[in-house]
Amino acid sequence: MTNAPLIPLPRPAARLLLAGGGIATIVSTFLSWTWTSEFPGDLTVYGYPAGLQVLALVAGALTLLFSLTLWDVRGLRWINPAGATSPYLLIALSGFAVCWYTAIAIAVNLGGVVNLDPGAYVAMIASALPVIGALALPRPGDTVKAYLTKPDQPAPKSKLSAWAEHLVITLGVTLALITFTYGIGVDDEESETFIGFFLLVVLATWALIHAGQLDRFSALCAHHKGFATAMAFAAAVIFPFTQNDDHNANLGVNILIFGTVALGLNIVVGLTGLLDLGYVAFLGVGAYAAALVSGSEYSRFSGTQLPFWAAALVGMGASLVFGVLIGAPTLRLRGDYLAIVTIGFGEIFRIAVNNLDGSSGPDITNGPDGIPAIPDLEMFGFNFGSPHEIAGFTLGRFANYFFLMLLVTAIVVLVFTRAADSRIGRSWIAIREDETAAVAMGINGFRVKLIAFALGASLAGLAGTVSAHVTYSVVPTPYQFAGSSPPNSAFLLAAVVLGGMGTVSGPIVGASLLYLIPEKLTFLKEYELLAFGIALILLMRFRPEGLIANRRRQLEFHETGQLDVPDTPSLPDSTIGVTKAGA
């Protein structure tokens, strides 16, 4: 049989290994894994999981939860309704990866396996049992129906009520907030803990994708788009109140800036299908334009200090003008030729602002020194540079800018969704799918592409206005095609591809990952780009449509029957952000 299990075991044995291994993994987290507290997280305490033990506890609980579906436990059939086999293996691998990585890290960091306490050995053995049990299940392409205690009982297909669907969305957003808060709260010096967290999140998310839960949740959010959007922004508002360190709020505001710019690029790349490799220059144009009228003493117009709304309009207007000036002569090009021209524009912008220092050119940008000492914003008597007490919580400078950037992100999301659902948005999609056919149907291809280019540039300029005040200064260095850290054009494009082209939440999720991972894994240093390239290769192999893909792109990359889950009717293709509901 082509789908025969890799490890031939009786059916009860496979179920017992999955469930028993999950329970044993949970128990092992209450034991000591090493004798010294020098390893990050202090894994020496009995009866109190900490650090990587907490992650192993979560992985064990998820393994146990998934395994109970094989026992036909009432109320749990929804976890894997199609009976796909791969989720069991992936969720078992999450616990295996965390436990074995922790044991290896302890041995390497502390100088040998002698530093492992019995609890670590128990965790290694316990986490291996569910993997063996999962390999004893039918291979992917088959189902585990024969392993259920009642194999002839169909999965329930009852439709949830509206309030229940709202509850599911609320729980999903809450889980995402908890996950993000934990990840961003890991200390930069505890890279071992963050690697374990990353392994758990990747494998657990992969399991949910194969079980169809992520795509079902995306379809549910698309069905209740207004409520889901409100809950997402409510979670973002809560985030600064969960942090004791303003540095984490700084990460949050930079992620929002990076994500907002990526969302603007998504109009150009995701909706219109234009490959723009110099998009970060529009962020720089907005930042420099705002810095010049910010009141900085180092600005060429040091006596001018516009209010924020006026500075934002200046930044957006400058980026819009540059977008039109660059797009008008170049958007008649297609494919690689357009990409080459946009790379050139990005480099020309960086070189130009580097030379406008009064020596190599006019004195406008102060050259390599940039424009420092940009004052903090003050609106309606609210100084963004000073801490404020709200409901007993102290919000620092970066938390204040986080809320401002959240408002900007809301505006950009509104513009993106309204434009995508409009007549011009449908024209963008038509151009992306087949420009020749779209032009033959009467669409003015050049005008439509120029509008996309200009709109995307203006949104990047808006984000650049806030970025200039957050960083206190504007310098030419970050505005390049590629570098070891975002923002740069390569990372912006990767955020769109990683998250999912043509969706709202995809670029924001991609930006969060690409900004947070290099920040936490500082030990990679010069190997960051290598790790980044490997991650993109793996993504293209296993999830080419992105983490959050719309239904059309998912069907483009996956043939019928290729997914682990059956095809079922979904929402209309025109709904932005909707994925294959049956997946």
Residue type at position 466: V
Q: pLDDT tens digits, residue range 243-289? A: 877 788 888 898 999 889 988 888 888 888 888 888 888 998 999 99
User: In DSSP terms, which residues pair with 379 in a beta bridge?
Assistant: 382
Nearest to 518 by CA among 546, 548, 549, 495: 495
Assess whether pLDDT exceeds 50 at residue 152. no
Written as six digits, the tokens of 563 are 């997914």
Going 346 to 348 to 354 to 358, the CA torsion angle's sign is negative
SS3 for 143? strand
Q: Distance of alpha carbon 293 from its chain centroid, rounded? A: 33
Task: Write down the pLDDT at residue 553.
Answer: 63
Assess whether pLDDT exceeds 50 at residue 445. yes
* Distance between CA atoms of residues 529 and 491, nearest Å: 10
Q: Alpha helix locations (H) across 29-82?
A: 52-67
Which residue's entry shows tokens 């390569």?
490
Q: pLDDT tens digits, residue range 180-231? A: 888 888 877 778 888 999 999 999 988 988 888 887 888 888 888 888 888 9
Q: Are 168 and 500 in contact (CB under 8 A)?
A: no
User: Could you tell me which residue, 392 or 148, shows the higher pLDDT?
Assistant: 392
Instruction: Measure the CA angle with vertex 521, ends 246 and 29; round to 5°.
Output: 90
> 258-267, 381-390, 444-453, 462-471: which range is least confident on average?
381-390
* Distance between CA atoms of residues 195 and 200, nearest Å: 9
Average pLDDT, integer, range 337-366: 83
Indicate the average pLDDT of the chain: 82
Q: What is the 3-state secondary structure (H, E, C) of 504-573?
A: CHHHHHHHHHHHHHHHHCHHHHHHHHHHHHHHHHHHHHHCCCCCCCCHHHHHHHCCCCCCCCCCCCCCCC
**Which positions ≥6 away from 362 have C-beta within 8 Å?**
356
**Which positions ≥6 away from 415 have C-beta within 8 Å?**
455, 459
Task: Write down the pLDDT at residue 555.
Answer: 62
Nearest to 512 by CA among 191, 150, 222, 256: 256
Average pLDDT, integer, range 362-370: 82
Q: Are 315 and 289 in contact (CB under 8 A)?
A: yes
Residue type at position 74: R
Task: Write down the pLDDT at residue 533.
Answer: 79
Preceding omega of 487 cis (within 30 degrees of 0): yes
Q: pLDDT tens digits, residue range 44-94? A: 888 889 889 999 999 999 999 998 888 877 777 778 876 778 889 999 999
**Which positions ≥6 away from 165 have C-beta within 8 Å?**
220, 223, 224
Which residue's entry shows tokens 């890799």?
6
Which residue's entry shows tokens 């808006």?
462
Task: Write down the pLDDT at residue 558.
Answer: 59
Helices (H) and strands (E) in the chain, counts: 20, 4
Indicate the burial class of 66 (C-beta count within 10 angstroms; 0-12, 13-18, 19 or more). Answer: buried
Going 405 to 408 to 409 to 410, the CA torsion angle's sign is positive
From start to end of 184-242, where are the E strands? none
* Distance between CA atoms of residues 189 and 181, nearest Å: 17
